[in-house]
Structure 1
């Protein structure tokens, strides 16, 4: 009989996904095997299949539980501009994790279940960003002449561009400059108050 993970199902799944997250970020999703995950957990491969039917299903759970939560946690219920800098520092410090987002997205073209998960994650991300921007527009931190949803899409595009630059190895000094310039456009309220708004953001870091 295959060795069974000794925890209850919920705890066992959490243990497996945490181990898979470590292996995926170290080796990359495509190079990781179910044997690699099993070895990281300390169980047989057969035990993994009693909880997950495939490596793709593990990635699906890892993305939902780890990557999306880490993104939305930066912006939920925040009405200051600090989360923008916190997000930048997180991405740069833990750049290995962003590969999983791109690999997860690439699987959408041939996996309907993962496509559904990705759509759900995307919608939650845009909703979180939109609400964050609305709160900061009320506070006077972000321009109001562009609606919050549009700015949310722009901010998400800047985030994706930052991730791509890190993946392909652009110099981090140039990435930082690109981020600052992009954020300055998003924060810009009007031509007269522009410099005051930017100073308020950048003087904190």
Structure 2
């Protein structure tokens, strides 16, 4: 009897965790497809296929769900960032991977990222989470550059920490532009970002890149 109760409790916990995950993913998809304001409990419930009251058994209110959505998007971004900078390849290939991450991931989550400035300015806890994410990204860039330098792909006198800071600042600027400038030409901005990183790292243009002309 005790074993059966333990098994049932585990099954119930796994079901709740699975249901909670489906709700978060559904909320993210609603925000991506229709914008943040469209991410109502009604829209999320419809996406998941449950009633609105059922959502309250997993999240106490819409704000709690919003926080989970923002936290998840930050984590997804960080996971993809780790993957992009951990792939094998020379420094030019890594820069291309990084650019893909910025311009593909950012475009996909622009409706959610547009909320972040408001959230982390008014919410100290969210401010800390975003700051921690930026610090983690900076460390990843530094580690990536250190590995490239050890392979002889970067000049010996290049200051890795300073270069990582400059690349981080350049990336933050382009992300803000992607969020707030609806007329942005992503192809041109991607090219400029890559050129900027190459100049920071004191390396020549990638001869295999299609936009070198």
The one of 148, 159, 175 equivalent to 2:189 is: 175
**Distance verdict in 2 for CA 1:124–1:93, change over 3 Å:** closer
Unpaired runs of at least 5, structure 1: 189-196
Match of 1:71 in 2: 81
1:162 pairs with one of 174, 181, 185: 174
1:39 alignment partner, one of 36, 40, 46: 46
Q: Give the secondary-structure state (helix, strand or coil) at the position aligned to 2:109.
A: helix
- Give TM-score, length-normalised by structure 1: 0.78
Structure ID, larger Rg: 2
- Structure 2, unpaired ranges of 5+: 1-11
Decide which of 182, 198, 203 is 2:204's aligned counterpart: 198
Residue 77 of structure 1 and its aligned partner are, at CA, apart by: 6.5
Match of residue 52 from structure 1: 59
Report the RMSD for the aligned CA atoms in angstroms: 2.7
Which residue of structure 2 lines up, in the alignment, with residue 192 of structure 1? none
Using the TM superposition, give the Cα deviation of residue 78 of structure 1 relative to its aligned residue in structure 2, in angstroms. 5.0
Matched, 1:62 2:91: no
Find the aligned partners of 2:148 and 2:28 in 1 and give their Cα distance.
Answer: 33
Choose which of 66, 73, 87 in structure 1 pairs with 2:98.
Answer: 87
Task: Judge which range, 54-63 or 124-133, deviates more.
Answer: 54-63
Distance 1:6 1:89, change over 3 A: same
Once the two structures are superposed, what CA deviation does each residue of 1:150-174 show, in whole Å capped at 9, x if it has no partner?
2222112222233233331222343
Distance in 2 (CA, whole Å) between partners of 1:145 and 1:99 is: 41
Structure 1 residue ranges, 4+ long, deviating more than 4 angstroms after superposition: none
